[in-house]
Amino acid sequence: MFETVKEVIIDTLSCAAEKVTMEANLFDDLGADSLDAVELSLAVEEKTGITIDEDAMAEIKTVADIVNYLEAHK
């Protein structure tokens, strides 16, 4: 699941692959803003078929948060 999320993050945020780790903060480390978070949520849903609801997305801060959410909801 991490590799899938990593691919989506690289495509959506146009960031370097080596920056995308489980511990990476979407905002501080990867440079995402609130609009990027929405785009990322939609891209993850398109790639995995799993919807991240708005309340959950507001709580997501790291790559690990996304992976853990997807693992719990697949």
The residues annotated with a catalytic role in the active site are 33
Q: 2: how many CB neighbours lie within 10 A of its CB?
A: 15
Give every CB contact of residue 22 below 8 A, 6+ residues apart in sequence: 2, 62, 63, 64, 67
